[in-house]
Structure 1
């Protein structure tokens, strides 16, 4: 049970912590650019994200969803469902090609390689990984996450304890000079959660749908939200304290780690590249799952086409994409937050009952008591075929 929860939590963090976050560029534009007030925005974002991570993964498990449209259709009005569906599809594709741009910027800053080299390498890795099933994709995404947790913690400790600091007033002025594409820190905080949920919701539903027990999926989401909140807090504090040094960099967190020791900078560049890969894989995998559900299969063909088109669009530039694409998607994410919150509160009683029922079904399955299983399934929101497939998996 603990292994399942941890695997899901790390995978959830891995989906969100892509180029923008791991590099520090997202946090710089959404929070640090507002100065000290931006830190209050971090707290607000952390709380909302933790709650929403639990809700989304639990709903995915409850409906045993293979793609996000199955959940949207069941929990919202058809109009809202269509708006969210299209919004998520645009988000998946947009974020996917932003990741390719981030891969190019990462290798360019660290080793001076042309941006197309990093982007092309990322395309090759993402295409190869599209041949894996969802459980293997989840494991791949989760495996890289502990490394970024370690490096962000190291960078934070270094900046806090081993660098010279000016006054908070001077830092506040320098941070506000960086600026933000959002009008107010509170708007930025909610917009940031909205955007990240638009990024995460599709793959998170797929991951949750692969878990038979909604309660465990919810615990995984809760832990994933807490881990992400920890990373967000230490990243924002670190970049605020170092804003006079790294405020203008495309990859500010990479610069900080490189300042500790050149070899750590080399390793951090690889880790950031890995986190970019995580998000790119999650985005294009979930996107192809959704589109192939419309067209009756052809998953890998659709997957390959969207990846290659995304590679072409990635040459618009990483920093510009983060500054202009992300906020627009974040506003659409506000609708997602509202719909999923209302759906979960309405269904929480049924979800709790179903969680207990599925525990009984699994116990009966292990004992081979099929007659009793059929009786339990009659009261379930799943049919016999769904249960049989889940038990065999």
Structure 2
């Protein structure tokens, strides 16, 4: 169970920490731009994200959802469901476009390659990985996440140990030079959370839906939310303390690592590129799943077309896309927070009971696989399946499939 929780947690973090976060550009515009007060915005964002990660992943698991529209239709009014669905589809595509732009900016800053080269390589990687099934995609996304945790920790420790920092007033003045389209630190903190939820919800629902036990999915969400929150706060503090020297860079976190050690800077550039890949893959994979929900056989051609269109649009520019596209999507995400929170509060008792029920079903099915059920056990199994919100085919498929009910 612990292994499954960690797998879900790392996959969730991998979805959110893409080009903007790993590079430091998002944190700069949303938090550092408001000086010391911006750090409080990071704290607010971290707390809300942890709660919402639990909610989204549990709802995905409870409904065994294959795409986000399925959950929206079950938990909200049809009008809200359509609005959220349209907003998430727009977010998936827009964020994927930003990832391609970030891939180009990353290799351009580190090695001077043309912007189109980094973006094109990313397109090839995303197209190849998108041909995998959801369990393999989850594993790929989660596998790269630990590397960025290490490098952000290195950057933070180096900044604190080696820094000869100016006073808070001088850092605040330098922060004021950072460009942002947001009005104040509180709005920025809320907007950043809701934007990231719009980014994460579709793939998070798919990941949660692949888990048979809602309790495991929820715990994975909490762990993932906590990891994300710590990273966000640490990154915000680190970039605030160094804002005088790296405030104008496209990839400020990479600048810190390069200052520490050029060799580590080369590795960091690759790691950031990997995190960009994480989010790009998650966005376009979830988008393809949603657009082909009624005709899964068309997934691959639709996926390829969406990725190629995103590549063309990515040439608008990384910093510009982060500054203008993300805040708009964040305001749309406020509705998502409200709908999912209300739905979970109303369903939390049913989700808890269903988690217990599915654990009992797994135990009984395992007994049946290794031997024979007694008449009482067989009757208990039939009763538990009948009372579940899933049908018998879904349950038996989940237990025997890659979702692994025996471990989930």
Q: Quick check: 2:289–2:296 contact (8 Å CA) kept in 1?
A: no
Aligned partners of 1:244 and 1:119: how far apart in 2?
29
Residue-by-residue CA offset, 1:287-331 (whole Å, 9 max, x unaligned): 000001144531111110000000000000000000000000000
Q: Counterpart in 1 of 2:381? A: 373
Secondary structure at the aligned position of 1:105 is classed as helix
Q: Using the TM superposition, give the Cα deviation of residue 177 of structure 1 relative to its aligned residue in structure 2, in angstroms.
A: 1.9
Instruction: Report what 2:341 is aligned to.
Output: 341
Partner Cα separation in structure 2 for residue 232 and residue 298 of structure 1: 38
Match of 1:321 in 2: 321
Alignment TM-score, normalising by the size of structure 2: 0.95
Kept in 2, the 8 Å contact 1:357–1:376? The answer is: yes
Look up the match of 2:284. Answer: 284
Alpha-carbon distance in 2 for matches of 1:257, 1:371: 62
When the two chains are superposed, the root-mean-square deviation of aligned CA atoms in Å is 0.8
For 2:60 and 2:176, the matched residues in 1 are separated by 40
Decide whether the 8 Å contact of 1:374 with 1:384 is kept in 2: no
Paired residues for 1:1-393 under 5 Å = 1-368=1-368, 369=373, 371-393=379-401
Q: What secondary structure is seen at the aligned counterpart in 2 of 1:319?
A: helix
User: How big is the shift at 1:373?
Assistant: 2.3
- The count of residues paired between Structure 1 and Structure 2 equals 393
Q: CA deviation at 1:374?
A: 2.2
Q: Distance in 1 between matches of 2:271 and 2:291?
A: 30
Superposed CA offset, 1:353-379 (max 9, x none): 000000000000101145532221111
Q: Distance in 1 between matches of 2:153 and 2:196?
A: 21
Which segments of 5 or more consecutive residues in structure 2 lack a partner in the other structure? 402-408
Q: Deviations over 1:180-206 (max 9, x none)?
A: 211111111000000000000000000
Structure 1 pair 186/203, CA: closer, same or farther in 2 (3 Å)? same
SS of the equivalent of 2:183 reads: coil
CA distance in 1, matches of 2:294, 2:87: 16
Q: CA deviation at 1:176?
A: 1.6
Q: Judge conservation of contact 1:34–1:179 (CA < 8 Å) in 2.
A: no
**Contact 1:92-1:199 at 8 Å conserved across structures:** yes
CA distance in 2, matches of 1:372, 1:66: 28
Once the two structures are superposed, residues 44-103 of structure 1 have per-residue CA deviations (whole angstroms, 9 ceiling, x without a partner) of: 101000000011000000000000011000000000000000000000000001100000
Deviating more after overlay: 361-370 vs 328-337: 361-370
TM-score (norm 1): 0.99
Runs (5+) with no aligned partner, structure 1: none
Matched residues in 2 for 1:40 and 1:323: separation? 20
Partner Cα distance (1:248, 1:179) in 2: 9
Tell me how far apart the structure 1 counterparts of residues 230 and 205 of structure 2 sit (CA, whole Å): 23
The structural deviation recorded for 1:28 is 0.2
Cα distance between partner residues in 2 of 1:110 and 1:319: 16
Distance 1:187 1:233 in 2: 17
> 1:151 Cα shift?
0.2
Runs of 4+ in 1 over 4 A off after TM superposition: none
